[in-house]
Amino acid sequence: MKKLLEGRIAIVTGAGRGIGRAHALELAAQGAAVVVNDFGVSLAGEGSGESPADAVVAEIEAAGGQAVANGADVADFAAAEAMVRQAVDTFGGLDILVNNAGFVRDRMLVNTSEEEWDAVIRVHLKGHFAPLRHAGAYWRAEAKEGRQRAARVINTSSGAGLQGSVGQATYSAAKAGIAGLTLVAAQEMGRYGVTVNAIAPVARTRMTEGAFPEMMAGVEGGFDAMDPANNSPIVAWLASEEAADVTGRIIEIEGGRITLETGWRHGHADDKGARWEAAEVGPALRKLIAQAPDPEPVYGA
């Protein structure tokens, strides 16, 4: 039986540990050749001197798969370009980009430093943009040469970015930005045969064990709802040729539950047909608020 991703070529960023490692293993098990990217940093994004990507590559190869390690900083524009080129040079092309790399520096908003803000926004948001930009340029060039690929991008947002999370203003802002980037990229890149979706995973990782210890226990009736690998079959399907009609979507995954997020939508409106007077705004806006559903609660509120 042909595997779901047989003959396809993937990059998974932040794939040395946790969710990214699980993605790389699942994609390889489904037949994809995988560039396993990991910069080898601590939870706070500091250099650790480790090369966890090599261990994942060895695991994939031991199971009969194909993989190569990459140690690029995904938010370095030139390094991200070289990572895309490595996939093409090593395996002959690129079909799948899974943007997963990131770290946290959680603080209440008024305690957040400029350095912390810049570091988290850089790795998550620019770290999605740079690989996506270079992969997109490759896929556009392929399409113009008559070699359009069934290309797939799976970004990584978060419930923190969709509903907000107390103590994670910077992380929430970055993940919300990724959701917006996903919507725009899906529209712009569809003409080249590219679908762009995002997941909002829930799992036990270095980033969540300390922040949500009770929730991360997650084992009931023999099923570990917080196992990072629970997210990866959804990523594998989104990366497949079967998923050609699914784009611009954000899917939250928690254990065995998948939820299609609906996101911001135009709600009730009141059109005066002229400029509002300041004194009129309160009654009009309160009427609209009364007609609208309550917002999703912020995590930790």
First to last CA, the chain: 49
Q: Which of 138, 171, 192, 299 is catalytic?
A: 171
Contacts of 100 (CB under 8 A, 6+ apart): 12, 13, 14, 15, 19, 20, 23, 156
What does 128-191 look like in DSSP terms, one character per residue? HHHHHHHHHHHHHHHHHTT----EEEEEE--HHHHT-BTTBHHHHHHHHHHHHHHHHHHHHHGG
- Tell me the two tokens of residue 277: 């007077």
Type of residue numbered 30: Q
Q: Which of 130, 125, 210, 211 lies closest to 175 in space, CA to CA?
A: 125
What the block records as the tokens of 98 is: 């899974």
3-state secondary structure of 174: helix
Given the residues 175, 232, 240, 299, select the one marked as catalytic: 175
63 exposure class (CB count in 10 Å sphere: 0-12, 13-18, 19+): exposed
Verify whether residue 138 is a known catalytic residue: no
- Residue where the block lists tokens 């995973």: 201
d(CA 242, CA 245): 8
240 is catalytic: no
Alpha-carbon torsion 62, 67, 70, 73, what sign?
negative
Distances (CA, A) of 253 to 64, 154, 177, 196: 29, 13, 19, 17
**Active-site annotation holder among 126, 138, 157, 158:** 158
Is 171 one of the catalytic residues?
Answer: yes
Catalytic residue numbers read 158, 171, 175
